[in-house]
Amino acid sequence: MSDFNKETFLQQLSDVQFSSDVQNSWNSLESGVLEHARLIHQKRVDNCQPGSAFNDWWLSCCQLLAPRQVVIKGLDFEGKEGGEYIELFNNGPLILDLAGWRINAGSEGQDMIFPENTLCYPGKSLRIYTDKAGELSFNSKQAVWNNRGDAAFLFDASGELVSSWRYGVKAHDAIEITNICFDGKEKYTEADEYAELANLSSGWLDLSGWQLSAGKDQNFTFPEGAVLKPNAKIRVYTNHVDQESGGFSFNSPRAIWNNKGDIGKLSDYKGNIVREYRYGAHK
């Protein structure tokens, strides 16, 4: 008898879904899908139903992984393009029927349930407006997304959390400055100095308009659309672009982090200081 635990596997899936650790991700996925396939196979055999090992395995993949194709791609809480909306994206190979799926806007009762035959095609997006005729909508005459910050949650038809998104004050507790590498290897300019930020949650963090400060006139502002993936880290270099770690840079021709000690400050798009990182003489 398989000891497969779906809840445990889905938690592991949240941890590895956007991980850069290829081998660990594959190992976790392989073992979970195979154990679930064994359960499906045994149930089919016990009920004398036709089928094949291939179909058992494929069904296991679809049941466990297909819902994770859909992620929250963005959220316009200011209504810049015809009103507030949240956008979903299908980054997988299957067409998904979102009937019975639900979006929660961070508060009890602020829910939108997808109607029958709401199809989300591979490589395509769906926008769900707060209130817009002829479109998927919360049908709310009041704003559902708080301009100071909010959280969005996407649940599948079984009630499993599939994707989440945080911005503003709701993202404060989920982000940390984990390191400032202040002594770069590149001579004179120390262009390879960097500050590292970590997402401590399993949801997406919208960093649009957030600012990292290394002191007076030494500020980096995250561009519109900048996000921090679940359980991931990014780096902001002094004058170096590394796409693997996010592609962010102060574009400063000189060193910005003092080797004797300094303070790094992270602020949200409203200017609220979210995190500080002190080292050396500033500890």
The pLDDT of 261-276, averaged and rounded, is 97
Nearest-CA neighbor of 136 among 124, 126, 147? 126
The pLDDT of 28-57, averaged and rounded, is 94
**Tokens for 179?**
């390191």
**Ramachandran assignment for 43, one of left (phi > 0), alpha (psi -120 to 50 degrees), beta (any other):** alpha
DSSP lists the bridge partners of residue 120 as 96
Whole-model pTM over 0.85? yes
What is the DSSP code (8-state) at residue 202? S
Phi first, then psi, for residue 10 (nearest 5°) are -65, -35
Beta-sheet pairing, 125-129 with 85-90: antiparallel
The pLDDT of 260-266, averaged and rounded, is 97
What kind of architecture, by CATH, is found in domain 171-280? Sandwich (2.60)
The Cα–Cα gap between 269 and 168 comes to 7
* pLDDT tens digits along 106-161: 888 899 999 999 999 999 999 999 998 888 999 999 999 999 999 999 999 999 99
Give CA 191 to chain center in angstroms: 29
Same fold, 69-170 and 171-280: yes
**Tokens for 269?**
């798009």
Angle in degrees, CA 244, 174, 235, rounded to 5: 25
* pLDDT tens digits along 155-201: 999 999 999 999 999 999 999 999 999 999 988 889 999 999 999 99
Q: What's the confidence (pLDDT) of residue 187?
A: 84
How is the chain split into domains, by residue range? Answer: 6-67, 69-170, 171-280
| pLDDT over 60 at 1, yes or no | no
Q: How many CB atoms lie within 10 A of CB 201?
A: 18
The Cα–Cα gap between 38 and 31 comes to 11
Taking the domain 69-170, which CATH number applies? Answer: 2.60.40.1260
Model confidence at 2, pLDDT cuts 50, 70, 90, reads low
